[in-house]
């Protein structure tokens, strides 16, 4: 059996913390974790013709990540100012417009997506017409479409979110996003399970995952429910924890692992990433096994 291939599309950027900067962007975080998990992954994005952009390209080369990264001579490389509250939860100030807002469609991108087992994307990339149109074209060629709902006000609309949900095979929310979206769509759904079933029926999506922070996650997979109650760790920061969770879940699905096994490993990975600094820390198999046992 051929090893799975993935393509991640969207923002690459620098998360600017009070003391330092770290590479980030949800699709890139997913791509880096997928690559570490043995899934041959390509990142499609854009950076500016600047020092920050060259630093991103150098770092991705060191990680052996496949790339289709355009260099924009007009717009600068993306940055996000990150602040952490007392519970170590992150909030974001996302600079706009930047290079990843203007990812122009190419034949090479279409070919990459056609040959890949899945395409991973989020909602933030839809804030600009150029990148939005490119994503629409790529979705039409994708074999398995994974939508990482990533609500970053004011950079989204419910109309666009619903359109992406309809186009997707797997949708990942956190529980706050799920509640907000079902309320905005007019659902009279009180429990998480009712909200998930509402989204599934409305969008014809048969795989929906909802993360619950330290309390684990729920996976609705082909009309069956799978639960994980979370793993106890001391949080350092939550930046990128959901992205590594999704990458690990997707890795399990692509490798045909049982849904419960994939969910358990994903929750353990998310917890360990939250226990370390930054969005892309090293996590070993030994650490995963120790936490899960």
Residue 142 lies in a domain: yes
Let me know if residue 284 belongs to a domain.
Answer: no
Per the domain annotation, does 35 fall within a domain? yes
* 291 in a structural domain: no
70 φ, ψ (degrees, to nearest 5): -80, 150
Per-residue pLDDT of the chain (293 residues; tens, 9 = 90+): 688 999 999 999 998 888 888 898 999 999 999 999 999 999 999 999 999 999 999 999 999 999 999 999 999 999 998 887 887 777 788 999 999 999 999 999 999 999 999 999 999 999 999 999 999 999 999 999 999 999 999 999 999 999 999 999 999 999 999 999 999 999 999 999 999 999 999 999 999 999 999 999 999 999 999 999 999 999 887 888 999 999 999 999 999 999 999 999 999 999 999 999 888 899 999 999 999 99
Domain span at 121? 5-279
**DSSP-assigned letter for residue 115:** H
Residue 292 located in a structural domain = no
> Residue 141 contacts by C-beta under 8 Å, 6 or more apart in sequence?
110, 113, 114
Write down the mean pLDDT value for the chain. 95
pLDDT at position 15 is 86
The answer to whether residue 288 is domain-embedded is no
- B/e letters for 41-57, b = 16+ CB within 10 Å, e = fewer, are bbbbbbbbebebbeebe
- Torsion over CA: 57, 133, 125, 111 (sign): negative
Question: Does residue 269 belong to any structural domain of this protein?
Answer: yes
Alpha-carbon gap, residue 179 to 196, rounded angstroms: 9
Nearest Cα to 230, choosing from 222, 242, 221, 220?
Answer: 242
Report yes or no on 285 lying in a domain. Answer: no
Question: What's the pLDDT score for residue 251?
Answer: 98
What is the predicted pLDDT for the residue at 84? 79
CB-CB contact of 276 with 236 (8 Å): yes
Domain count, the chain: 1
Which CATH number characterizes residue 126's domain?
3.40.1190.20
């Amino acid at each position: 059996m051929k090893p799975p291939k993935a393509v991640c599309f969207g923002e690459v950027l620098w998360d600017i913390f009070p003391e330092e900067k770290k590479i980030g962007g949800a699709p890139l975080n997913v791509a880096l974790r997928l690559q570490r998990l043995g899934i041959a992954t390509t990142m499609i994005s854009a950076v500016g013709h600047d020092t920050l952009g060259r630093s991103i390209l150098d770092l991705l080369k060191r990680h052996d990540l496949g790339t289709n990264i355009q260099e924009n001579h007009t717009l600068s490389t993306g940055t996000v100012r990150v602040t952490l509250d007392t519970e170590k939860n992150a909030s974001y100030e996302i600079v706009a417009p930047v290079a990843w807002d203007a990812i122009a469609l190419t034949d090479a991108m279409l070919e990459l997506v056609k040959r890949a087992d899945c395409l991973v994307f989020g909602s933030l990339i839809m804030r600009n017409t150029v990148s939005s149109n490119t994503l629409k074209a790529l979705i039409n060629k994708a074999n398995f479409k994974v939508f990482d709902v990533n609500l970053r006000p004011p950079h989204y609309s419910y109309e666009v979110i619903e359109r992406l949900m309809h186009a997707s095979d797997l949708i990942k929310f956190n529980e706050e996003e799920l509640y907000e979206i079902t309320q905005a769509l007019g659902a009279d759904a009180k429990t998480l399970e009712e909200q998930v079933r509402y989204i599934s029926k409305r969008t014809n999506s048969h795989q929906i995952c909802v993360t619950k922070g330290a309390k684990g996650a729920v996976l609705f997979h082909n009309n069956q429910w799978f639960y994980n109650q979370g793993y106890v760790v001391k949080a350092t920061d939550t930046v990128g924890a959901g992205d590594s969770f999704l990458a690990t879940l997707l890795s399990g699905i692509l490798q045909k692992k049982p849904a419960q096994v994939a969910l358990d490993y994903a929750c353990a990975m998310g917890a360990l990433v939250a226990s370390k600094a930054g969005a892309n820390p090293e996590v070993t198999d030994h650490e995963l096994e120790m936490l899960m046992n």
